[in-house]
Amino acid sequence: MAEENANKAPRVINKSGTLKMDDKVAATKQVRDISGKKMERHGRRDRVKAETGPKEFDEITIAIDRVSRTVAGGRRMRFKALVAIGNHKNKVGIGVAKGNDVTTAVNKATTKAKKSMITFNMDGETICHETRTKVTGADVLMKPAAPGTGIIAGGTVRSIMGLTGVKNLISKSLGSTNKVNIAYAVMEGLKAQVPRGKWVGYENKTPKVKTETKAPAKKVEAKKTEAKRVEAKAPAKKAEAKKAETKKAPAKKAETAKKAPAKKTSKKEDK
């Protein structure tokens, strides 16, 4: 009965007209090479997994434009990508590249941005001072801001500053709206940042610190011994003064007593 049921089971036939191999048959089948030797099947190769740790630099695609070039046979269409890259501290870079497709253009721009990275100076979480930079038609003004202000800027400036450690900034684009030129103007403004210690006239200004001049130990000890001597002599002088006052008081009373009867006798004689 089991054999009859196996024969009646549906069979899958390939396009070539052969029966499809069952799983049981495939497990027992031995593979041989051209010379007829058995080929051993080992386990699946260990695939090397890429490191999934945090990236050193983050990148952002600011703009992708389609550009064309007129040639003898017509127009050749390509893509231009503007990419910014940074480490969320004080390193940032931008790159512009073209390619036949978007992915090629972005990859080229990323490699250019890595090569053109700069390191700029910061004052806490803002820039060191106000700057106004002009690159071709772009004119960008950047000012430092107080903590809690945030980044007040347009799209291109905000995208670049988001990849740096600057958290407070006020910016205004006063010229062209070309994103590439604005990006280059922002980079020039960051390059021009000078730390506070190197400002003109600030180098000689040092904070005044009150320094207490300590007297020598010998002088201090001498002053203490003199003070003790004065304190010891003071009670003796007070006691002597009190004794002198007490001696003078009875003498004065005796003199007044002697004078009083003499006056009375003189009055009686007059009478």
* Domain coordinates in residue numbering, the chain: 58-198
What is the pLDDT of the chain when averaged over all its residues? Answer: 79
Q: Supply the pLDDT for residue 268.
A: 46
Answer yes or no: is pLDDT of 47 > 60: no
Alpha helices in 9-120 (DSSP H): 23-28, 102-115
Tell me the CATH number for domain 58-198: 3.30.230.10
Burial 1-31 (b: 16+ CB within 10 A, else e): eeeeeeeeeeeeeeeeeeeeeeeeeeeeeee
* pLDDT tens readout for residues 104-144: 999 999 999 999 999 999 999 999 999 999 999 999 999 99
Q: Supply the pLDDT for residue 62.
A: 95
Report DSSP state, residue 19: B
Helix (H) or strand (E) holding 82: strand 74-86
Query: What mean pLDDT do residues 196-211 have?
Result: 68
Structure confidence at residue 196 as a pLDDT band (50, 70, 90): confident
Q: What's at 86, amino acid-wise?
A: G
- C-alpha dihedral sign at 161, 164, 168, 169: negative
Helix (H) or strand (E) holding 118: strand 118-119
**Which two three-digit tokens encode residue 108?**
């080229």
Alpha carbon 69 to chain centroid, angstroms = 44
Answer yes or no: is pLDDT of 69 > 50: yes
pTM over 0.75? The answer is no
Q: Supply the pLDDT for residue 271.
A: 41
Q: Which residues pair with 144 in a beta bridge?
A: 169
Q: How many Cα neighbours within 13 Å face the side chain of 183?
A: 25
Highest mean pLDDT: which range of 12-21, 188-197, 198-207: 188-197
Sheet holding 58-71, edge to edge: 58-71, 74-86, 91-99, 118-119
Structure confidence at residue 267 as a pLDDT band (50, 70, 90): very low
